[in-house]
């Protein structure tokens, strides 16, 4: 999964973090359901997150976030190469919306 993550004080916009589990905001219902189904079928979930502030999440996309795209692609390719074998199925989920893209 690829999504935005709320940055902490001192972190820079566009920094990238990796983790495991469903990278999805909200109240947690969807996250729980995704992880429950994945766990029951032994499907691993990996997350790549791009850091941004709460204000940046609802305004025009900053250059630093766009500049992070090649790094996200590189990390996703590395993750797929390290964690899968030939013939495996991979689903890449981009979570969220495109509110700031067109502005």
Residue holding tokens 């916009």? 13
pTM reported for the whole predicted model: 0.82
Instruction: Name beta bridge partners: 28.
Output: none
Going by C-alpha positions, the residue among 25, 26, 18 that lies closest to residue 45 is 18
Per-residue pLDDT reduced to its tens digit, 45-64: 999 999 999 999 888 889 99
Amino acid 67: pLDDT: 95
Measured CA to CA, the distance from residue 103 to residue 100 in angstroms comes to: 6
């Amino acid at each position: 999964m690829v999504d935005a993550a709320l940055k902490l004080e001192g972190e820079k916009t566009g920094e990238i973090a990796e983790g495991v589990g469903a990278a999805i905001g909200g109240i947690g219902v969807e996250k729980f359901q995704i992880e429950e189904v994945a766990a029951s079928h032994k499907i691993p979930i990996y997350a790549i997150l791009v850091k941004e502030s709460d204000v940046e999440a609802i305004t025009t996309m900053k250059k630093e976030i766009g500049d992070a795209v090649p790094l996200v692609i590189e990390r996703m390719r590395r993750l797929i190469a390290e964690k899968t074998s030939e013939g495996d199925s991979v689903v890449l989920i981009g979570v969220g919306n495109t509110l700031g893209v067109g502005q």
